[in-house]
Chain A
Amino acid sequence: MILRDIAHVRTGDKGDISQIAVFAYRPEDYPRLLASVTPQAVAQHFGGLGGRPIVRYELPDLHAVNLVLEGALLGGVTRSLALDAHGKTLGAQLLDLPISPE
C-alpha cells in the first residue's frame, strides 16, 4: 500500500519553505497516517531533497498532518534555479510513500 490509498495532499510554498498538508480520507486511517508520515520517513522518501529537519504539525480534528520543509526550495521561488521553483510537485511525490497495510 502507498499513502495515496488513504490520503490526499496539498503543497504550498513560503519563501524557501515547502509545506505539504496530508489528509486521511477516513478518520479511522488517521493513526496509520500518523505512524507512516513521520518526519524521518518523509526525509528518507525525499532522498534528493536538501534542507533542514522536517517539522510536523498534527491536526487530529482534521485527520491531517502539516509538514514544513525548511530550505527545501533551493533558495525560494524568487531565486531558485529549479524547474518547479514553487515545489508544487512535491506533495504528489510523497503519495507513493509506502505504508503498512494495517
Chain B
Amino acid sequence: MSGRTVRIGGGAGFSGDRIEPALDLLARGDLDYLAFECLAERTIGLAQAARRGGAKPGFDPMLDERMRAALPLAHPRGVKIVTNMGAANTAAAVTHVTEIARELGLPGFRTAAVLGDDVLETILGGEFPLVDREGTSRDLGASIVAANAYLGTEGIVAALQGGADAVITGRVCDPALFLGPLIHEFGWASDDWARLGQGTLVGHLLECAGQLCGGYFADPGVKDVPDLARLGFPYADVSADGTAEFGKLADTGGRLDVATCKEQLLYEILDPGAYLQADVVADFRQVRIRETARDRVAVSGGAGRPRPDTLKVSISYEDGYVGEGQVSYAGAGAQARGQLALEIVRERLRLTGAPVSDLRLELIGVNAIDRRGRPSVHEPGEVRARVAGRAATQAGADRIGAEVEALYTNGPAGGGGVTRSVRSVLAVASTLIDRTLVTPRVQFEAA
C-alpha cells in the first residue's frame, strides 16, 4: 500500500454484540473511525412500539452502555464514532449522548443526528406496492407502526464535514456507516461508482464485526477457530482508491484469512453482481482477497454502477400474537411420547375452540430445524416437543402454552421442563419509494 490510509473499525455486528472487542480496538487500534452497526430489520419497529408505549425513549437500548464505555477511549484519541443506534428516535439519542459526554467531562463534544429516514407519513399518505409479496402498503392499514427508508451516506458525510465527533443515524444502508467516513476523508464524488463500489465492499466486510474474524465460522475438526471467547473485531486500512487491507489486533482470538473473508463477502447478498445500496449498485463478482501476513488480508476488485432511483423502505406493522409451549421427554420411547404430546395439544386446541392458526408442531432433536426431509434412523435420547401458533389476541395465543403445561398431569408419562410464552409480533414488509421523496437532514448538539 502507498499513500495515506484511513483506518476504520467494525465495533458491533448487532445491538446485543460484545462490547469489549470494540473497546480494545479503541484503546490499541490506532483507529480514525469506529462504526457500530446495531439496527436489525425489525429493531426500529420494536423501538417505535416501545416509544409509543411511553416506557422507552425509542433509541437503541444499548446506546447508553456502549457510549459510556466508548467515548472516554475514543475522544482523547480523536477517533470518530458512527452508529445507527438512533433507531426510532435519533434526535433523543443525540441528546442522550451529549448528556453522557457532559457527565464524562468531554466539553465541546459534538454529536450529530442524521434524520430523514422516517417516511411514515409518506407511506400512510400513499399506496406503495410491497416487494416480495402480493398487495400494497394500504393493505397493512392501521397496523403500520413505522416506515423507514434506507438512507445513503449523504447525511453522514455532512455531519462529519460539520465537525461531528459522533454521528448517530436511524435507518441507513449498513455499509454507509463505513462508506460515509471514506467519502468524507477522500472526497470521492457521488458518481465515482468504482470507488463507491469498493468502499461499499469495505463496509460490507466490516459491518458484522466479529463475523469477518472467525465468528459464525468454526466447525471443530474441519474449520477450527482459536479462542472465540476473546474474538477480536476487524479494522480496515483503506487507501484513496478504495482498496483496503483488513486486520485484527494482536493477542485477540479468531482468525482473519481468505476463507473467513470469502464467507463474509457473500453474507446476506442475493445477486453478487448487483448489491443494491442507496449510493451505488455494488458488484462483488471480481473481488480479490489475498493474505499479506498472519491475520491480515488485502481486498480489491469491488466495482460499482449508478445508484438506483428508488430507496428501500422497511414497513413495520403489528401482526397479532404468537403463543408457544415446550415440554421435554427422555429415555426409551421419548420420541413416541413427544409425538403423542403434540397430538394431544392439537386435539385439545381443536376441542376447546382455541382461536389459534398456523399451528406448528415439532420435536426439537428430530424435525424442528432439520429441513432435509428424510426421517432420522436414530432414536434420540431426549426430545423436546414444541407447539407454536398465531392468534389475534394475547389471550388466544396464551391457550397454546396453557395446553402444553396441562400435559404435566394430563399428558404422556415423564414430561418435564415446560416453558410457555406469548409475544406480540411486529412484522416487516418492504417497499420502494422514489428517492426524491426522502430528504436527509443533520442536526448538531455540543456538550
Contacts and interface: CB of A to CB of B under 8 A. Distances in A.
Interface string B404-436: 000000000000000000000111101000000
A48 B270 contact: no
B42 interface: yes
A20 to B, nearest CB: 9
Contacts of B360: 81-82
Interface string A55-77: 00101011010101010000111
Contact of B371 (A49, A59, A61): A49
Contacts of B269: 12, 19, 21, 66
Contact of A45 (B266, B362, B369, B372): B372
B222 A4 contact: yes
A24 B333 CA distance: 41
Contacts, number: 120
Nearest to A70: B132
Interface string B265-291: 111111111000000000001111000
A77 B132 contact: no
- Tell me what chain B mostly uses at the interface: helix, strand, loop, or mixed: loop
A89 B369 contact: yes
A15 B270 CA distance: 12
Interface string A11-37: 011111101010101000000000000
B427 A78 contact: yes
Contacts of B389: 81
B287 A62 contact: yes
Given A17-B132, A48-B371, A83 B386 contact: yes
Given A10-B216, A49-B371, A90-B371, A15 B259 contact: no
A91 B149 CA distance: 30
A78 B428 contact: yes
Nearest to B285: A59
B132 A12 contact: no
Given A10-B216, A47-B373, A83-B362, A61 B287 contact: yes
A10 B266 contact: yes
B364 interface: yes
Contact of A12 (B219, B267, B368, B386): B267
B239 interface: no
Given A10-B216, A81-B358, A66 B373 contact: no
Contacts of B369: 82-84, 89
Contact of B223 (A8, A45, A70, A78): A8
A57 to B, nearest CB: 6
A93 B281 CA distance: 32
A23 B427 contact: no
B388 interface: yes
A16 B132 contact: yes
B192 interface: no
B41 interface: yes
Nearest to B373: A47
Contacts of B270: 14, 17, 19, 66, 68
B259 A23 contact: yes
A66 B427 contact: no
A62 to B, nearest CB: 6
A90 B372 CA distance: 9
A93 B364 contact: no
Contacts of B322: 81
B243 to A, nearest CB: 16
Nearest to B45: A78
Contact of B372 (A48, A59, A78): A48
A89 B37 CA distance: 23
A82 B360 CA distance: 8
B374 A64 contact: no
The listed residue with most A CB atoms (<10 A of its CB), out of B265, B273, B364, B430, is B265
Contacts of B103: none
A21 B266 contact: yes
B371 A57 contact: no
Contacts of A61: 285-288, 301
A26 B360 CA distance: 41
Given A76-B427, A84-B368, 7 more contacts: A12-B269, A15-B430, A19-B269, A62-B287, A66-B271, A68-B271, A81-B322
The 6 A-B pairs with the shortest beta carbon distances in the complex, nearest first, are A47-B373, A12-B268, A48-B373, A21-B266, A10-B263, A79-B427
Interface of A: 4, 8-10, 12-17, 19, 21, 23, 25, 45-49, 57, 59, 61-62, 64, 66, 68, 70, 75-79, 81-84, 89-90, 92-93, 96
7 contacts: A8-B263, A12-B267, A16-B132, A16-B133, A47-B374, A78-B41, A82-B368
